[in-house]
Amino acid sequence: MTISLHPSTLPAVLSPVLTPFKEDGSPDAQKLLKQCQWLEANGVGQAIFGTNSEANSMSAPQKMGTLTTLIEGGLNPAHMMPGTGATSIDATVNMTRHAVQHKCAGVLMLPPFYYKDVTDDGLFAYFSEVIQKVGDARLQVYIYNIPPVTKINLSLSLLERLAKEYPKTVVGMKDSSGDWSYTESVIKLLAPSGFRVYAGSEVFLMRTLRAGGVGCISATANVNPRAIAELAAHWRESDADQRQMDLDQVRSIFAQYQMIAGMKTAVAHYSKDSEWLRVRPPLMQLSADQQAKLLGELQKINFSMPGL
């Protein structure tokens, strides 16, 4: 078969960056810029407005305004993959067009997640209409598969159809199914033609890279960026399996808590900025007891977030 690799400026590891919020509930773009710069300095790209960014608790204008501020603040759009998927095609088109106009290397696009039991034809029509309305050859779409949240399964045949119909536009995916056999099937089917598969957790990083995927877009890249980026860079070396085990240990601590509130607890602690604790309803901050327990467990493994 013809190999038509899509060149990409995106790194192997991206973080769905936690969003700091002001007291009035609006995103704090300046604080977010600082956080993104810290991630960049640790070798991690920015998939802002992902699940862990509380993206669906923000309006499209809030997200677009924040993206503008980040790029005007000097963040490199070549390392950015903003989330632009929404249940409304118009909102998705507006956010996607805005990201492309700001030269972001890609966008991460959820399927329309409100209606359940929808057909592949319906999902294809959604993505197709968005791509055609954006109408920009620079657009690079990464499909975001997260069935534990959306309750929508993206079939292999749907992904294959999208990649064949839009080979220069639908260029990859983030798979947060947590089902390794599915991730591996997508890699085997589509990676030979240049489709770039990111695992949705660093727990699958080694398996993804060994199978022919490109890396991971992972929650805990928010708090443990350098170690994850270093494994992606050195996955062929003899200590790679030990590095993977070390990453899994950190992840398992955060996984005992609501992940977003837990990671915000760590950022607030290590940056000495309690404003980072804020989350948007319906999420809630960890209780004082939970915060103390989480930080105690991190201390036991000598965890730190240097330079934050």
State the binding site for pyruvate. 217
Three-state secondary structure string covering 183-222: HHHHHHHHHHHCCEEEECCHHHHHHHHHHCCCEEECHHHH
Candidates 144, 198, 264, 270; catalytic one = 144
Name 45's bridge partners.
14
Place of tokens 């105690």: 296
Candidates 63, 174, 264, 270; catalytic one = 174
Question: Which strands form 170-175's sheet, in the order they lie side by side?
Answer: 45-46, 13-15, 215-217, 196-199, 170-175, 141-145, 107-109
Q: Is 144 a catalytic residue?
A: yes
Burial readout 92-126 (b: 16 or more C-beta within 10 A, e: otherwise): bbbbbbbbbebebbbbbbbbbbeeeeeeeeebeeb
Q: Is 168 a catalytic residue?
A: no
Can you say which residues are annotated as belonging to the binding site?
217
Write out the catalytic residue numbers. Answer: 144, 174
